[in-house]
């Protein structure tokens, strides 16, 4: 997404091919960097200081190739686009913020949706908070969150569970969130929550305050309850991911990006001028896309950018060389939560200084193919907490590099 945005913002003619449904699993939080080295489990307050150390310690990390100023700029540009689509984000330029998760842990992240930011503010100033869950919303227990958060919280934490009026049976995130865009439905929910409040300075709720209309719904809830309200991301798939996907896709469309989201690249060839000719389709080819340059941002196993059999990991579109542990023994540790991290996470596509995938000789496989995001080797985004930043900042670098090439 980021690559498409940065490219079209810079006047390039862009087609984006591939599934975006994976975004439904996003939390909406955009990480820059929080843990380094991962073996220490040390969480950094200042992501830029962490970045500096990371670049020294791990020169092969994609971040080590980037200029921090450009990285900050890439974040701003990305967040501006989200803002256009109705989702405000809060960035404290020099610091990470801690938000509450649905298991009562605190997550350090960089760019936070405004509807969730109140949690960070409440944590920092030690506010007395009321956490509210909804009956029949599975996997969200306000008591669980309060019990686990208590030891880190300096204020008072209370919890309660209310029944969402007008609902029968199990609650589902998406329909509930959409229904709350209706002012009278929102009003009745607020009225169900209000009696539970007893001098609490802020109220935490599951993240269901609308999808497209989250800005308005959030503000209205705060107005009715008369105090700060913050969302806590729910179990996946959570509407926070849907907000990101729908909002962003809309803005890209408005900017003229051609989007083919129901199909993917299933084959490629090179034309006489060195450009790419892509076959696009599902099970069978449906169309042809010609491009002078391409950015590969297909993700890892979840996104199907990488796949493996019992022996090797492969890159699925171009068959690019993949840096990986010598055998399967080195893929996963037996101790799942070991701070050493799983070897397979560092596997991926290696790049040169221009973000082009390279072969075993260190030379770019194709001069006009660039790569960005989690498919890149030598990073462990899940443990370093750098997923969002990796996507956004390397996309910017790849776009810049492709513009140089095309010039």
Partner 1 sequence: MNPPGAGSADRRGPFFSRPQGGSAIASPSKSGNSKEMVGECLVLIIGGGSTGTGLARDLALRGVSSLLLERQDVNSGASGGNHGLLHSGARYIGSDPAAARECREEGELLKRLAPECIEETGGLFVAVRGDNENYIADFPAACARYGIPATSVDVREARELEPALAENLIAAYSVRDATIDPFRLSFNNLAQARSLGSEVMIYSRVISMEASGERIVAVRVRNMETGRETVVRPEIVVNATGAWAGRIAAMVGVKINIIFSKGTLLITPRRVAHRVINRLRKASDSDILVPGGTVSILGTTSIRVEDPDDIYPEIHEIDEIIREGARMVPALDASRFIRAYCGIRPLVHTGNGDEDDREVSRGYYLADHDRDGLSNFITITGGKLTTYRLMAEKTADLVCRKLGVAEPCRTRTEPLPDAEETRWTEPGLAAKKALLKGDPADLMVCDCEMVPRSVVDNLIETVRAQKGGVGMIDIGQRSRVGKGSCQGTFCSQRLIAHLYDREIYQSEAGLAEMKTFVQERWRGQQPVLWDTHMIQADLQEAVQCGLLGLELTDDEQPRAEDSASSFEERDEVPKRTAIGRAETCPKR
Q: Does 383 bind partner 1 (CB under 8 A)?
A: yes
* Contact flags string 43-82 toward partner 1, x per CB under 8 A: x-x-------------------------------------
Q: Does 346 bind partner 1 (CB under 8 A)?
A: no
Q: Does 387 bind partner 1 (CB under 8 A)?
A: yes
How many angstroms separate the Cα of 142 from the Cα of each of 107, 164, 165, 322, 375? 17, 15, 18, 44, 36
- For partner 1, give the closer residue by CB, 333 or 406: 333
Smallest distance, Å, CB 372 to partner 1?
Answer: 18
Smallest distance, Å, CB 274 to partner 1?
Answer: 34
Smallest distance, Å, CB 8 to partner 1?
Answer: 28
How many angstroms separate the Cα of 324 from the Cα of each of 78, 108, 154, 364? 31, 29, 45, 18
10 Å CB burial of residue 375 (0-12, 13-18, 19+) is buried
- For partner 1, give the closer residue by CB, 98 or 368: 98
Q: Does 103 bind partner 1 (CB under 8 A)?
A: yes
Smallest distance, Å, CB 128 to partner 1?
Answer: 16
Sites for partner 1 among residues 12-41 (CB under 8 A): 25, 27, 29, 35, 39-41
Sites for partner 1 among residues 210-269 (CB under 8 A): 233, 235-236
Sites for partner 1 among residues 303-332 (CB under 8 A): 304, 307-310, 327-329, 331-332
* Contact flags string 104-123 toward partner 1, x per CB under 8 A: xxxxx--------------x
Identify the bridge partners of residue 358 per DSSP, sorted by sequence position.
364
Smallest distance, Å, CB 238 to partner 1?
Answer: 10
Among 53, 76, 378, 382, binds partner 1 (CB under 8 A): 382
Sites for partner 1 among residues 126-145 (CB under 8 A): 126, 136, 138-141, 143-144
- For partner 1, give the closer residue by CB, 251 or 300: 300
Q: What is the 3-state secondary structure (H, E, C) of the chain?
A: CHHHHHHHHCCCCCEEECCCHHHHHCCCCECCCCECCHHHCCECCCHHHHHHHHHHHCCCCHHHHCCHHHHHHHHHHHHHHHHHCCCCEEECCCCCEEEECCCCCEEEECEEEHHHHHHHHHHHHCCCEEEEEECCCCCCCHHHHHHHHHHHCCCCEEEEEECCCCCCCCCCHHHHHHHCCCHHHHHHHHHHHHHHCCCCCEEEEECCCCCCCHHHHHHHHHHHHCCCEEEECCCCCCHHHHHHHHHHHHHHHHCCCEEECCCEEEEEEECCCCCEEEEEECCCEEEEEEECCEEECCCCCCCCCEEECCCCEEECCCCCCCECCCCHHHCCCCCCCCCCCCHHHHCEECECCCCCEECCCCCECCCCEEECHHHECCCCHHHHCCHHHHHHHHHHHHHHHHHHHHC
- For partner 1, give the closer residue by CB, 272 or 337: 337
- For partner 1, give the closer residue by CB, 232 or 401: 232
Smallest distance, Å, CB 17 to partner 1?
Answer: 20
Smallest distance, Å, CB 316 to partner 1?
Answer: 12
Q: Does 301 bind partner 1 (CB under 8 A)?
A: yes
- For partner 1, give the closer residue by CB, 243 or 385: 385
Q: Does 161 bind partner 1 (CB under 8 A)?
A: yes
Q: Does 147 bind partner 1 (CB under 8 A)?
A: yes
Binding site for partner 1 (CB under 8 A): 25, 27, 29, 35, 39-41, 43, 45, 96, 98, 101-108, 123-124, 126, 136, 138-141, 143-144, 147-148, 150-152, 161, 168-170, 233, 235-236, 300-302, 304, 307-310, 327-329, 331-339, 342, 344-345, 381-383, 385, 387
């Amino acid at each position: 997404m980021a690559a498409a945005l940065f490219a079209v913002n810079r006047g390039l003619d862009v087609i984006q091919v591939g599934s975006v449904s994976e975004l439904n699993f996003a939390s909406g939080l955009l990480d820059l960097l929080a843990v380094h080295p991962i073996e220490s489990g040390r969480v950094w307050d200042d992501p830029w200081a962490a970045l500096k150390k990371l670049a020294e310690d791990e020169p092969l990390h994609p971040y080590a190739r980037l200029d921090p100023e450009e990285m900050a700029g890439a974040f701003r540009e990305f967040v501006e686009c989200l803002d256009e689509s109705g989702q405000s984000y809060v960035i404290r330029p020099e610091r990470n913020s801690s938000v509450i998760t649905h298991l009562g842990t605190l997550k350090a992240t960089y760019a936070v949706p405004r509807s969730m930011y109140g949690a960070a503010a409440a944590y920092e100033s030690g506010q007395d908070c009321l956490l509210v869950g909804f009956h029949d919303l599975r996997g969200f227990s306000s008591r669980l969150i309060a019990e686990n958060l208590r030891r880190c919280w300096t204020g008072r934490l209370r919890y309660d569970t209310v029944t969402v009026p007008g609902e029968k049976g199990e609650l589902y995130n998406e329909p509930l969130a959409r229904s709350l865009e209706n002012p009278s439905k929102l009003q009745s929910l607020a009225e169900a929550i209000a009696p539970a409040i007893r001098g609490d300075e802020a109220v935490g709720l599951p993240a269901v305050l609308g999808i497209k209309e989250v800005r308005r719904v959030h503000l209205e809830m705060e107005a009715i309850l008369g105090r700060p309200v913050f969302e806590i991301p729910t179990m996946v798939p959570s509407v926070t991911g849907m907000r990101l996907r729908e909002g962003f896709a809309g803005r890209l469309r408005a900017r003229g990006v051609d989007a083919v989201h129901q199909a993917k690249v299933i084959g490629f060839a090179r034309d006489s001028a060195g450009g790419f000719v892509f076959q696009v389709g599902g099970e069978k080819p449906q169309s042809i896309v010609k491009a002078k340059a391409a950015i590969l941002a297909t993700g890892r196993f979840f996104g199907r950018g990488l796949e493996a059999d019992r022996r090797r990991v492969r890159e699925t579109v171009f068959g690019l060389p993949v840096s990986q542990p010598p055998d399967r023994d080195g893929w996963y540790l037996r101790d799942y939560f070991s701070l050493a991290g799983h070897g397979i996470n560092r596997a991926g596509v290696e790049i040169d200084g221009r973000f082009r995938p390279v072969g075993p000789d260190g030379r770019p496989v194709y001069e006009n193919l660039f790569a960005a995001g989690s498919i890149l080797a030598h990073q462990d985004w899940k443990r370093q907490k750098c997923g969002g930043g990796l996507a956004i900042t390397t996309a910017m670098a790849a776009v810049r590099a492709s513009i140089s090439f095309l010039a």
